[in-house]
Amino acid sequence: MTPGDFQFISDLLKKRSGLVLTSDKSYLLESRLMPVARKHGLKGLDELIQAVRDSGEDSLVIDVTEAMTTNESFFFRDNKPFDLFRDNVLPPLI
């Protein structure tokens, strides 16, 4: 992948999702985008990036964005802080 290709994908991700992808994370592009390339019948990242550049096809851009973003939050999964807040912080405030 050329530096220009990396910058193109990085800019696309920032614009579409707010994700800031720095050059030290370039390894993520290959691991996360190769399945997208295969899904769309492309041989590798170079073809995938060229297809995104050429077509701007919504489904391809969406797949690239989804593959690179983490769409899950663990914020509410740990109940202990919320229980402590409910039991120890709120009562004195109320």
What confidence tens digit (pLDDT) does each residue in 17-63 have? 999 988 888 888 889 999 999 999 999 999 999 999 998 678 899 99
C-alpha to C-alpha distance for 88 and 67, rounded to whole angstroms: 40
What confidence tens digit (pLDDT) does each residue in 54-94 have? 986 788 999 999 999 876 667 777 788 889 999 999 999 98
pLDDT of 56 reads 67
In this structure, which topology does domain 3-93 adopt according to CATH? Chemotaxis Receptor Methyltransferase Cher; domain 1 (1.10.155)
pLDDT of 9 reads 93
Per the listing, tokens 């041989």 go with: 43
pLDDT of 26 reads 84
C-alpha to C-alpha distance for 94 and 92, rounded to whole angstroms: 5
Task: Supply the pTM of this predicted model.
Answer: 0.71
